Amino acid sequence: MRKLKSHLLLWGGVTLLSSALTGCSLLPVEEEALQPPLVQPVKETLNVVEAKRAAISKQITGVATFASDKTNYLYYKTSAGKLIAINVKLGDYVKAGDVVATTETSELVTKIRVQEIAIEKVKISLMQEVADKGAEDPSVKLKMLDMESAQIQLKALQDQLQNSRLVAASDGIVTFVEPIKPGEDVAAYKQLVTLSDPKQMKLIYTASSQNDLAGVEINMDVIVKIKDKTYSGKVVQTPMSAAPSDNKTVQDKNNKSLVINVLDLPQEITIGSQADITVVTEKRDNVVVIPRAGLRSYMGRDYVQVLDGESRKEIDVEKGIVAATEVEIRKGITEGQKIILAN
């Protein structure tokens, strides 16, 4: 009996312990606190170049066009009324004395003929008076005054007719025609037609503005390239040396143009032919040069950022020639320093 009780007690203890252990397994397990993964800082990528010694030049490049060195701009000097016709077109060859444009004449031709007939009548009458009464007779003198008056009126009519015709003063090729239509009013000094002498040509380079030609001077050398061949040229006119003109079109063009004389031109060059030009306005050799992207400016201050070990350092500089892709640095940095380029 005692053994039975002992077994029962042992069994009960095992059961109780098992239940306790089982009960513990049913309790929620506290979740461990999640830690964010360690993120490595992004290393900044710098675009760095070394300052170097080199030659640098400032130059003007572009496409220029051959034009006549002798140009005749045709326009009416007074308001000529309404246009009848422009008698030429681009490319026409015109001779001196040709009528290139006409305006309304208000039947001037008829009026001139009527006046010429009136003068003939006065002449006949005057001859009869002189024959009958002598040259000193008052009636003869009156007839002579009538003659002078008629001749003055005829001259005025002839001048009006002449002013209605725009006449070429010299031979040339038509290189410009104003797009004006018949019936439109023709203003005084409005350029209608341009004639160019094909035997005398210069190379004309026209910039966007006068500022683009800063630094160009008379007699500067010009490299002229026509197709695959290179020719020598000289600047013979700049905006500063161009003669003033009463013609606004001419003045505006001169204000932003270079005129270049090219030596030994091939015969196939004609008005309108084009060439590539290069004019070096400033040049220096063996100077400290950096890319333009390395020069920074703020509030009138010029400076660069250099790589000093692992850090940046700002240095004020004095710039010299500023070319298309590079800039000369006169003071502030030396050859070999590592310049951080602006992004």
**What's the half-sphere exposure (Cβ side, CA atoms, 13 Å) at 218?**
6
Which of 301, 295, 307, 329 is CA-nearest to residue 47? 307
User: In this structure, which amino acid lies at residue 297?
Assistant: S
Residue 206 corresponds to which tokens in the numbers above?
A: 């026209």
Give the model's pLDDT for residue 10.
Answer: 47
Contacts of 185 (CB under 8 A, 6+ apart): 79, 81, 82, 83
Residue 187 corresponds to which tokens in the numbers above?
A: 């203003």
- Cα separation, 61 vs 276, in Å, equals 7
Give the model's pLDDT for residue 14.
Answer: 45
Give the model's pLDDT for residue 239.
Answer: 92
SS3 336: coil
- Cα separation, 189 vs 179, in Å, equals 15
Q: Are strands 326-331 and 311-316 parallel, antiparallel or unpaired?
A: unpaired
Look up the pTM and report it.
Answer: 0.55
Give the model's pLDDT for residue 140.
Answer: 79
- Cα separation, 174 vs 231, in Å, equals 28
- Tallying the residues shown for the chain, one arrives at 343
Alpha-carbon distance values, 144 to 115, 116, 118, 122, 154 (Å): 16, 15, 13, 8, 15
Helices (H), 187-294: 248-254
Give the model's pLDDT for residue 24.
Answer: 46
Give the model's pLDDT for residue 42.
Answer: 64
Q: Chunked in runs of 10, what are the mean pLDDT values of the chain (343 residues)? A: 47 47 48 64 80 94 90 82 89 91 79 85 83 79 84 79 81 90 87 87 91 92 93 94 82 91 86 93 95 94 92 94 94 95 87
Which of 316, 285, 294, 293 is CA-nearest to residue 303? 316
- Cα separation, 218 vs 238, in Å, equals 7
- Cα separation, 258 vs 252, in Å, equals 12
